[in-house]
Amino acid sequence: MPAKLFFLLPEYKDPGNTTRFFLESDHLMTDADMREYLRCLRAIVLYMRCEDVDCYYDIQNYRSFQFPIDVLPEEYPNKKRYNLEFVERNLENWRDESEQVDGDRFSYQGQTITDDTLCEIARRLFNNRRELYIVVNHQALNTVMRDHDKLYVKCNGCEKRFPVVKADVNLLLAWLRCKGVIMRIYHPNTAKHGTSGLGGSSADDASSLLCSNKKAKKMMGKAVRIGKNLYYYDVNERLYIRFMSGQNNTFHPFHIQSPQDESINVPQQAKIALKTYLGPFRSRFE
């Protein structure tokens, strides 16, 4: 089943910039806090690129979030980093293809709402789309929620419900796997790659799996997908680990153990996504 992620961000509130009642007020983050906040957003989007997932944002919501960056340049000297380039290049603005029509009626938590992300999702569900719509709550909703929960929105008298998940790569991957959007089945090729650095084939092209299957399986759940294969960075071995795709959504792991193999077998896109998510790290070959 394909999934569509709709990102929600907190909005800056002042007398000249009113926002939705259900959205958190965007406090004045420090320059470092802003970088970390947007790093989380970038990591999720980079991870979703090769999955069966579409990512949407609301240009109005993003501009309200970005408002203090525009009006307080002294507080945000790296303003250039916070422009819309990354968002516009990697996410779709749902307003470009909005399905809301004149006369639609929406309510959330008993209050009328109009022309926002919750309305758009409810309207698409009202149209009986057989797709999975998910709100990614990036510290935006001002109600106490678990890691994942449900939102209930009425559209033209019909209650529609859809999931909301906190903006965390691990949570989203686990949740999407649970819902069958992302399929990953661990299938070690012990005859070729061995396990824990032992066994396997003596052929020149047979890289070893240097950790246990248990550890490799755990890393597979956190790995980024680029094309058909999965990639992660093993901080204990200080090496990338590659999960080669097989039949029926199976993947078998091995470590990348030489500079030549890394340059050939680890895509730059995977390195960028992993460093964005995990933070700075050094492999033996950097």
How high is the pLDDT of residue 195? 86
How high is the pLDDT of residue 267? 96
Beta strands 158-166; 111-113: pairing state: unpaired
Strand order in the sheet with 111-113: 92-93, 53-57, 3-8, 132-137, 158-166, 148-155, 106-108, 111-113
The two three-digit tokens of residue 228, written as one number? 């058909």
DSSP assignment, residue 79? G
Per-residue confidence of the chain (286 residues) as pLDDT tens digits?
789 999 999 988 765 556 788 898 767 788 788 888 888 999 999 999 999 899 999 999 988 888 877 777 777 776 556 566 778 788 999 999 999 999 999 999 999 999 999 999 999 999 977 889 999 999 999 887 788 899 999 999 999 999 999 999 999 999 999 999 999 999 998 878 878 778 767 666 678 899 999 999 999 999 999 999 999 999 999 999 999 999 999 999 999 999 999 999 999 999 999 999 998 888 888 7
Could you tell me which of 129, 212, 220, 133 has the C-alpha nearest to residue 173?
220
Percentages helix, strand, coil for the chain (3-state, rounded to 5) are: 35, 25, 40
| Dihedral sign (CA 220, 221, 227, 228) | positive
Question: Could you write out the three-class secondary structure of 219-274?
Answer: HHHHCEEECCEEEEEECCCCEEEEEEECHHHEEEEEECCCHHHHHHHCCHHHHHHH
CA 281/CA 286 separation, integer angstroms:
9
Amino acid type, 167: A
187: alpha, beta or left, given left = phi > 0 and alpha = psi -120 to 50?
beta
How high is the pLDDT of residue 203? 63
How high is the pLDDT of residue 170? 93
